Amino acid sequence: MVAAINKPVTAPACGVADNAAVAKSDKSTNELAAATGTVAEGVAASLTPLLADIDTDSAAGRDRYFMRLAQAAAEEARAAGEVPVGAVLVRGGEVIATGFNHPIGGHDPSAHAEMAALRAAADKLQNYRLPGCELFVTLEPCLMCAGAIMHARIARVVFGARDPKTGACGSVVDAFANTQLNHHTIVLGGVLEEECGAALKSFFADRRRAAREARAGLAEPGAAERMVDGRDDPGTRWPL
């Protein structure tokens, strides 16, 4: 059962750490900090009209509200040149931490949005166990993230788009359905699914267009080097 919000829900305060820190391989703590925290000011402002009409008194409305915040975190990933996946970790109706996908800039194959949010929340609460918390993420968690979610004792996971390539909530495997596990997480998929999926599709469409322009010599200098072809990127997590 979804816990009711017992206090007004507010968007997280502004101030994500500088994304430039992610690229500094000699400062692993800064790599994580750059992908966690709260929704940046410009993105948060754009959310205002989208959040205003959501009825957070209903369970469905509450899920949409927090998924909107996860979408804002995903836009932080897009701005950093990463696959746009965002996550928000909530406890008692309050945002504890956010995270966005950053494996390329962080030189870290485990740097998915879910992992960033879990690490930030654990650090904030000073506990690697996060009982009673919910995780909202724009893309179905992979097997790695599902394992971390279980170890953190997350009570509930809500995801947006399904991932037919690496999804571990039923699309490829269903990690959470194993009755032998000593912790059971409630999973709900498909919240704002079309919007979350559209964000990913547009990202890869832009990448393919940049690749074509680079091959045709139309792109600005250096564009080809900056472009990551999703077909060869192990962090894509999305069909092209």
Q: What is the pLDDT of residues 177-205, one digit of tens each?
A: 999 999 999 999 999 999 999 999 999 99
154, two tokens: 């997350």
Residue 213 annotated in active site:
no
Q: Is 107 annotated as a binding residue?
A: no
Residues 6 or more apart from 232 whose CB is under 8 A from it? none
The reply, when asked if residue 142 is annotated as ligand binding, is yes
Can you read off the two tokens belonging to residue 136? 């909202």
Q: Is the separation of the CB atoms in 105 and 81 below 8 Å? A: yes
CATH class of segment(s) 54-212: alpha beta
For residue 130, what is the DSSP state? -
Catalytic residue, chosen from 114, 134, 220, 225, is 114
Q: Which of 6-15, 22-31, 35-44, 54-63 has the highest mean pLDDT?
A: 54-63
Q: What is the pLDDT of residue 46?
A: 53
Is 151 annotated as belonging to a binding site?
no
Per residue in 129-150, pLDDT tens? 999 999 999 999 999 999 999 9
- Beta strand residue intervals within the chain, DSSP E: 36-37, 86-91, 94-100, 133-139, 156-161, 186-188
For 137-183, what is each residue's pLDDT tens digit? 999 999 999 999 999 999 999 999 999 999 999 999 999 999 999 99
C-beta separation of 54 from 68 below 8 A: yes
